[in-house]
Amino acid sequence: MRHRGVGLFSLGMVLLASGLVLLWSSTYARSVDLVRLWPVALILLGAEMLLAQSRARGGGQTVRFGLSGWALLFLALVLALGRGVAGPWLPGCAPEFGFAWQFGGQFPHRVTETVWLPLTLEGVSAVEIDVRVGRVELVAVAPGAEPRGEAVVTASARTADEARRAADAVSVTVQRIGSRLVVRAAGENPGGTTSRSQADVLLNLPPGLEVRVGAEYGTVTAAGFAGPVEVKSRFGAVVLSSIGGAVTVETEHGALDASLIGGPLDVRSTYGNVTCDDVGGVLSIVSRHGNVSVRRARGPLEVETTYGKASVYYDAAPGAACDVTTVHGLITVEMPSSSPVTVDAASERAGVSTTSLSGLRAQSDGRRSRAEGDANGGGPLVTLRTTYARIEIRGR
């Protein structure tokens, strides 16, 4: 049976169109973001496959990918990574921070200016920060110290005039609404072809304020606050440390690093890895694709992942219940070998291993594996469940 290869025509069309666009760009000094057009490669390849299938049906031929077809798929994947579409594999990377590839143009002209923000905090109990493009940095000041705030606006473009206009278009506002102080900063064109701009918001605030942050493209850091902290991030990483009150974090593609959290911590993540160290309150983490690593959990712990691994490390015997559930991710729990705990661990399709913890019974029926029992007389319940991955329980 004869085979008809697919992909050569589509690859040729993509190369021809790219060359024409780049020639036009260099001739007329225009910047063109070819990365935005990566789905066209898949459209051409799909159309060629359908056309080849219709022609091959009457001639006793079969259709299969040729080398050029695979090359085109690889090119489309590379361009998709360039737009930050592949968040599950590159957590924490925003399209404009390191992976927005610009073809046919550069941004050699840059404008940077600092805008001082008026902070009148008398009667204010909460501060809300909403930033579209740019990082947010929040630091608690010593009691009695003067709060201060600034926004660093940065714009880049092909020409000096375009950079100036992009910087002027950035809006930074401070508004008092009841007992809330609202700071908003909006950069323009995060993946722009002629200019890009961002506004970094830096605030030194009293530690007792409630803090709420919404960020789309940019890293969020906060340290030293006693009041509740809430962060919602789309692409940027979130770094929190020395927070005394309750913390809530929602992130799509950004990683989370939280340490020295005195109150409860609630995390909802889609693609980013989650790392937590020394959380005093209830720790609840739900992650879809990202790995979860927890160290020194002091209170009850609940972890749920779909594809990510879950690792829990205790520096002392667990003082509260631990509940970890995954579908595809390996579960690792490590604690001192003298820890008094009650273990209930089961894997539907893989093994369960225990080391250096006396009193646990392991069994397997060929597919499903379990380990259960009271280690060192029993104690807080450690419940571990996974469908396709292994479970490792280690004493040290």
230-242 confidence digits (pLDDT tens): 999 998 899 999 9
**What is 215-238 written as a DSSP string?**
EEES-EEEES--S-EEEEESSS-E
**Which residues is 243 bridged to in the sheet?**
261
Decide if 253 contacts 235 (C-beta within 8 A).
yes
pLDDT at 29: 44
Place of tokens 């072809």: 193
Where are the strands (E) in 206-291, listed by range? 210-217, 220-223, 229-233, 238-243, 247-251, 256-261, 265-269, 274-279, 283-287
Helices 8-27/67-82 angle, 10° precision? 40
Decide if 222 contacts 240 (C-beta within 8 A).
yes
Decide if 160 contacts 109 (C-beta within 8 A).
yes
Half-sphere exposure of 104 (CA within 13 A, CB side): 20
At residue 21, the 3 state secondary structure works out as helix
CA distance 363 to 354: 11
At residue 54, the 3 state secondary structure works out as helix
Distance, first Cα to last Cα, the chain: 62
pLDDT at 195: 80
Nearest-Å Rg of the Cα atoms of the chain is: 27
CA distance 147 to 174: 14
**Which residues is 211 bridged to in the sheet?**
127, 229
User: 105: which 2 tokens?
Assistant: 């143009």
At residue 320, what is the residue type?
A
List pLDDT tens digits, range 254-312. Answer: 899 999 999 999 999 998 899 999 999 999 999 999 999 999 999 999 999 999 999 99
**Which residues is 294 bridged to in the sheet?**
276, 312
- Pick out the chain residues at pLDDT < 70: 1-12, 14-15, 19, 21-38, 41, 53, 56-66, 68-69, 72-73, 75-106, 187-193
